[in-house]
């Protein structure tokens, strides 16, 4: 069996700092768990623009298409605000998603017990929260045509088109149902079938897929605005939520803040299976590049580390090792170690980015 391959794209701002802590874990697993990875590293975002005049070089794109998984840090920063839209750092990330056809975005929202007080909701509402939002990522209103700004009479008009095909809905629904089979067996599909034809089609196709191939999964339907309300009222009623690109963008950010800190949240974007059966995949923390704290050792590496845990689970069939890593993170938090974004509670121990990474590796070693 060939060695699994991983392309690391640290990116901009705090990206290289948090990715350095992931490299520690990869090295430890190779030395102590027999998990060898063929790791390569390249540029994306502003770093790629500085080197090549483009946010993603064609050679890097080609590498991303060939490896088993891509792990990305963060892109962007005020340094690049004046660039033309076509070469802004974020275009590198969007190109990766589009050309790899990463249609299912997985956004877990998990609240570790040690951080329940950081949520804006009551502790009993969020403690133990563990839900997964599956967002369709490559279609919908962000990509539909016609689009643009033009003049009608004496005023300008902005147009975006919500468009979905049956096959696009079908494949993301299947991703959600497959995930639910590995979790609690429940899927809630969210749309606006009461006012949108695309929502009617979405509801019909999701139901058809479930009835035909996933009768073991408990499926419910909910209007997306009601879903937002229910996420803030009692989020633990959900297991897997599947929704379109626009609503997924909004609902996943809402769910993110239930946990208390964006610095804690990973994500995965999955596409169709490759010849080896593994899905094309890009893993990245939800947080941005945070240029205001870059190079200061203040960044929280946990979201990036948990993104690697998702890669272990979904790309490398190493579910036990993923759980081991997640438990190491939980144990470090239970010990009271906190990076700058998590400080504020009495008795917390402030640690730097690298100290947090070292502590997680130490917990891994203790559990081996």
Of 12, 42, 249, 341, which residue is the catalytic one?
249
Q: Are 278 and 271 in contact (CB under 8 A)?
A: no
Q: Tokens for 128?
A: 């133990």
3-state secondary structure of 87: helix
- Taking the C-alpha atoms of residue 264 and residue 286, their distance in angstroms, rounded to an integer, is 8
Q: Is 50 a catalytic residue?
A: no
Q: Is 68 a catalytic residue?
A: no
Whether 12 is catalytic: no
d(CA 51, CA 41): 14
Contacts of 211 (CB under 8 A, 6+ apart): none
Catalytic residue among 88, 192, 280, 298: 192
130 is annotated as an active-site residue: no
* 124 vs 322: CA distance, rounded Å: 27
- Which residue do the tokens 């369709």 mark? 136
In contact, 312 and 305? CB cutoff 8 Å: no
170 catalytic residue (yes or no): no
Q: Which of 50, 101, 184, 253 is catalytic?
A: 253
Q: Which of the following is catalytic: 130, 142, 170, 186?
A: 142
Task: Find the catalytic residue in 223, 225, 236, 358.
Answer: 225
Active-site residue list: 142, 192, 225, 249, 253
């Amino acid at each position: 069996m060939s060695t699994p391959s991983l392309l690391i794209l640290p990116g901009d701002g705090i990206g290289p700092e948090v990715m350095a802590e992931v490299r520690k874990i990869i090295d430890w697993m190779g030395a102590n768990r027999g998990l060898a990875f063929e790791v390569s590293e390249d540029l994306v975002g502003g770093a790629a623009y500085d080197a090549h005049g483009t946010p993603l070089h064609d050679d890097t794109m080609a590498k991303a298409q060939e490896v088993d998984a891509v792990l990305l840090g963060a892109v962007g920063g005020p340094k690049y605000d004046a660039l033309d839209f076509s070469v802004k750092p974020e275009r590198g990330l969007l190109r990766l998603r589009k050309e790899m056809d990463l249609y299912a975005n997985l956004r877990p929202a998990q609240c570790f017990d040690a951080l329940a007080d950081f949520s804006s909701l009551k502790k009993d509402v969020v403690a133990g929260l563990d839900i997964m939002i599956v967002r369709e990522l490559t279609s919908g209103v962000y990509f539909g045509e016609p689009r643009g700004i033009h003049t009608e009479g004496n005023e300008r008009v902005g147009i975006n088109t919500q468009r979905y095909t049956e096959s696009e809905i079908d494949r993301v629904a299947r991703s959600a149902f497959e995930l639910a089979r590995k979790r609690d067996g429940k899927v809630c599909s969210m749309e606006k079938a009461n006012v949108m034809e695309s929502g009617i089609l979405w509801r019909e196709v999701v139901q058809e897929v479930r009835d035909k191939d996933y009768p073991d999964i408990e499926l419910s339907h909910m209007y997306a605005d009601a879903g937002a309300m229910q996420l803030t009222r009692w989020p633990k009623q959900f297991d897997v939520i599947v929704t379109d690109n626009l609503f997924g963008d909004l609902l996943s950010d809402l769910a993110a803040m239930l946990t208390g800190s964006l610095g804690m949240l990973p994500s995965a974007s999955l596409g169709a299976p490759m010849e080896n059966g593994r899905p094309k995949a890009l893993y990245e923390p939800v947080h941005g590049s945070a240029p205001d704290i870059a190079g200061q050792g203040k960044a929280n590496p946990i979201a990036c580390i948990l993104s690697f845990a998702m890669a272990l689970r979904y790309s490398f069939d190493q579910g036990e090792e993923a759980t081991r890593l997640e438990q190491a993170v939980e144990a470090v938090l239970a010990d009271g170690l906190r990076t700058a974004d998590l400080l504020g509670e009495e008795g917390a121990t402030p640690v730097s980015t690298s100290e947090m990474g070292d502590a997680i590796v130490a917990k891994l070693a203790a559990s081996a």
